[in-house]
Amino acid sequence: MAITNVCCAGVFFCEAGPIGSLSRLTIQILFIRFPGSLKGRFEPARLQLSSKGHHMEPIHILGIHASPVKSGNVSYLLDHALREANREEGVATEGIALAGLSISDCNQCNWCMRKQTPDQWCAIQDDASPILEKIRTCDILVLASPVYFARLSGRMACLIDRTRCFIFGRQKQMALRGKIGLAMAVAWTRNAGIETTLESMHSAFLLHEMWTPSVHHAGVIFGVGAVSGQRNEDLSYKANKLGVMEDREALQSARELMIKAIQTAKMLKGRS
Domain residues of the chain, as ranges?
Answer: 57-268
**Sorting pLDDT into bands at 50, 70 and 90, what band is 166?**
very high
Architecture of the domain spanning 57-268: 3-Layer(aba) Sandwich (3.40)
How far is residue 188 CA from its own chain's centroid? 22
Q: Is the pLDDT of residue 2 over 80?
A: no
**Rounded mean pLDDT of 139-151?**
97
**Sorting pLDDT into bands at 50, 70 and 90, what band is 93?**
very high
pTM: 0.80
pLDDT digits (tens, 9 = 90+) for 206-223: 999 999 999 999 888 999
Single-letter amino acid code for the residue at 43: E
